[in-house]
A and B are shown apart, each in its own frame.
Chain A
Amino acid sequence: MNVLSQAEFDAPSKGIGMADGESAVTARGVDVYYGDKHAIKDLSVDIPAKSVTAFIGPSGCGKSTFLRCINRMNDTIPSCRVTGSIKLDGRDIYNKALDVVQLRAQIGMVFQKPNPFPKSIFENVAYGPKIHGLASSKAELASMVEKSLRRASLWEEVKDRLDASGTSLSGGQQQRLCIARAIAVSPEVILMDEPCSALDPIATARIEELIDELRQNYTIIIVTHSMQQAARVSQKTAFFHLGTLVEEGPTKTIFTTPRDKRTQDYITGRFG
């Protein structure tokens, strides 16, 4: 089965090889319930460090739910219950001794719709370092902001108007600002929940380029509805269906020789 051209795989596949990546996040037997609804059923997956892992699957299959379990954003939903174990660098993130605030500093998140704070660009990026006390002086804070904006390849566009409101930027710029905001606290893992779904193709291409650059330093997990995007940016792909993980493996394998019939049907566009 060869649904995508070989050329599309070549670019992202260069870089860090699949085999030498140790796991940053490991999930074992995870079940998630929203009240009575069993949203994720017995899920186990390894997320390799310093690479991009894509979660694909039809709407409502639980991929976003699982993503939000990794930084415990589901804690804010009172009816949500998580069992099983999710480990970050060998430590159980659902351990009671672990502080959720510190966990979220280690696991950053970028949301579907760009959501900059209605404050200045500088304030947006500086907020994380400020609340975690990462900068000891104003100069250090400023350099952290610059570094983060450079990494998010937004610096050149906004360096002259750091005082402008974050909401005054275009959609694509806003999303890169959100990425800069997430990397300002130096997380290990960045979770991206359909980061390009609200953007036009040009802005999408920039974000994808950025993701490709960022994976040298960060472990990235991206939820996407675009199979092409998953194929372009990720090294590993996991296919979710009805709350179960159907298949996972190197992106190239998943897209060229899927083992499961459902995966094959989905990536060839027969459902979903």
Chain B
Amino acid sequence: MTDATFQPAVSGKVDFTSPKAQAHLRKRYAVEKRFKAYGLTAIGFAALFILFLVSDIVIKAVPAFTEHRLTLTLTPTAERVAAGGKTDRDTLMQGDWIAVVRDGVGQFFPQVTNRTQRSKLYNELISIGAGEDIRDTVIADPSLIGKPVRANVLLSDDADLYFKGRMTGRNERNGGGLVGVSGTSDTVSITSGINDFAAELARVRSDLQVAARLAQLEATRLRTALETVVPDRRAALEEQVNRQIGIVADLEKRGRSVGGSETLGDNTASVLVKINGGVIKLTEIGNEKASGTVLIPLKTATEAKAGEWQILTLTTPEASRKLSDQQAAWLDRMKDEGLVSKTVATRIFTSGDSREPELAGILGGLAGSALTMLVTLSLCLPIGVFAAIYLEEFAPKNRLTDLIEVNINNLAAVPSIVFGLLGLAIFLNTFDMPRSSPLVGGLVLALLVLPTIIISARAALRAVPPSIREAALGLGASHQQAVFHHVLPLAMPGILTGTIIGMAHALGETAPLLMIGMVAFILEVPSSVTQSATALPVQIFLWSDLPEQAFQAKTAAAILILLVFLFIMNGAAILLRKRFERRW
């Protein structure tokens, strides 16, 4: 016991000034302080975790709400978009708008002619949905066919990531000296008056030293493997070890050398030089002199003064990123031309799912969730409330009702996947309802939420003071009148709170929806409860599985939107409770 006893100093009177009493008092306060500290620590931890969680999601989600696009002057020619000279809506919808966009982009890169290069430029940098803006403009005003039209062109997800700086680190600076170039195309050499490339050379050498250390680790690993290798493979492994040792020695030598020049490859950072309207990718680099291949042809081979040419370093090696140096050069060129702008990406709210990250939106998932919730609510609320009223107010108290009550409480604790299996067996297999539809999803979630609603509704009904019931009965109201005129209205805020919390639970539920096939890839935004659909949490699940890097941000954004909806629903529950709470 903490409450140690102490003897009264004087008989019949407790001496609160005695050291023993004082110690006892101090102990009591210490216990209180400690308890407070525990509480604060717990809350602090919880707040920290929430802060970490939310900030992590927000930071990851932010890039999904912006997108980069080109603003170009395009000329929609009749042969591209108006088949047979017709300009009605249906014909124009069928038009080859992406070709119109390619024509527009092509103006800037006349040298891109071979098939591989064209594919790299048009298919990988421009979104397949890039023609939508010009299409919509022309459909609204068909007289624009054959005339130049300003239109927005959506970039692909990889191009977008490049501009967001998530593809590679980008480092651009003006050259300091007067440089001369040896030509305008193919392989050229650049000579600078001062040691302009010293920083780049130093960087390459430090990268080589890091590579040498990694190679050394690999060599050590191989040498260890040599001790346990089976005899007939020993010779091959020994050769491999020797080769690796050679690589290490070479890298170390290159990394430590001073002056001279160094070759750049796929595994080192890329260095591009923008000069005379062209772009050169450096392959060999010295302090004053460098040489490389031309990515975008130079206009002239004249000398360039300090500040008129730039050195661009892409820190991620070419082999480790999706866009090549050539593609980066094209994108940079378009940016330098002032064609690229960053805008708020509203598409995430307005379009359905897509295989292309830049075109994918959560509207499909949202609509699916909304329709599912509609089905759930319209089933749960009446059934749950009436069941609760019957059980609480009218049902006789006997073993049967006890059994029902116990089972309702048990159902509330059943894992949600079990309800999914039940839905699969009953609604899909027995009743043959449409697979993947919000109808079935809503039914399954209704099963899941019903026990929660019944329990909370019963608690709310029980919380209404009996005096209100007695007052009504004493006036001659029938039992049913007393319940529906007085008890139910007073219980309603509590019932609604329980319902909203149950619905919020259902909104975030994924597992049962997977079982009934709402996990499919669906492009269309559903508009009725029998169409195929997915739900918001399932959409998150689907996106989180995709390999494209841009889907990471989309996933985080979808999580953020789901959380916002959950906060709104819980906020509404609190508001309802505060608004309609009655005092008696």
Contacts and interface: CB of A to CB of B under 8 A. Distances in A.
Interface in A96-145: 101-105, 108-109, 111, 113, 115-118, 127-128, 131-132
Interface stretch (B190-198, B313-321, B416-424, B463-471): B463-471
B397 interface: yes
B475 interface: yes
A269 interface: no
Where chain B touches its partner, the secondary structure class is: helix
B38 interface: no
A111 B472 CA distance: 11
B470 A104 contact: no
Interface string B449-482: 0000000000000000101111111111110010
A182 B474 contact: yes
A178 B584 contact: no
Contact of B473 (A73, A102, A116, A117): A73
Contacts of A131: 475-477, 481, 485
Contacts of A104: 473-476
B579 interface: no
Contact of A76 (B473, B485, B490): B473
A185 B582 CA distance: 26
Nearest to B479: A76
B486 interface: yes
A98 B469 CA distance: 22
Given A78-B397, A131-B481, A185 B470 contact: no
B131 to A, nearest CB: 63
A136 B193 CA distance: 108
Contact of A117 (B478, B481, B486, B583): B486
A236 B473 CA distance: 28
A135 to B, nearest CB: 14
Contacts of B467: 111, 113, 115
Contacts of B583: 118, 167
A23 B477 CA distance: 27
Given A115-B468, A118-B582, A185 B473 contact: no
A218 B311 CA distance: 105
Given A105-B476, A108-B475, A127-B485, A118 B470 contact: no
A182 B475 contact: yes
The CB with the most chain B CB atoms within 10 A, among A105, A113, A118, is that of A118
A153 interface: no
Given A78-B397, A118-B490, A108 B478 contact: no
Given A111-B467, A115-B467, A131-B481, A185 B475 contact: yes
Contacts of B472: 117, 127
Contacts of B469: 76
Contacts of B468: 115, 117-118
A219 interface: no
Interface residues of B, number: 21
Contact of A115 (B397, B470, B476, B485): B470
Give the size range of A's interface with the partner. Answer: 20 to 34
Contact of B470 (A73, A78, A101): A73
A127 B475 contact: yes
A185 B472 CA distance: 12
Given A76-B473, A111-B470, A101 B478 contact: yes
Contacts of B475: 104-105, 108, 127-128, 131, 181-182, 185
A71 interface: yes
Contacts of B473: 73, 76, 104
A101 B476 contact: yes
Contacts of A181: 471, 475
A269 to B, nearest CB: 31
A142 B255 CA distance: 101
Nearest to B475: A128
B477 A101 contact: yes
A109 B474 contact: yes
Contacts of A132: 476
B465 to A, nearest CB: 8
Interface string A49-91: 0000000000000000000000101001010000000000000
B471 A178 contact: yes
Interface string A151-188: 00000000000000001000000000010011001000
A219 B473 CA distance: 20
A115 B471 contact: yes
Interface in B410-434: none
Nearest to B469: A76
17 contacts: A73-B474, A76-B470, A76-B473, A78-B397, A102-B476, A104-B476, A109-B470, A115-B471, A117-B472, A117-B486, A118-B582, A118-B584, A127-B477, A131-B485, A167-B583, A167-B584, A185-B476
Interface of A: 71, 73, 76, 78, 101-105, 108-109, 111, 113, 115-118, 127-128, 131-132, 167, 178, 181-182, 185
Interface of B: 397, 465, 467-478, 481, 485-486, 490, 582-584
Given A73-B474, A132-B476, 7 more contacts: A102-B476, A104-B474, A115-B468, A115-B471, A117-B471, A118-B583, A127-B475
The 10 closest A-B pairs by CB, nearest first: A105-B476, A109-B474, A115-B467, A104-B476, A128-B475, A118-B582, A115-B471, A101-B476, A131-B477, A101-B478
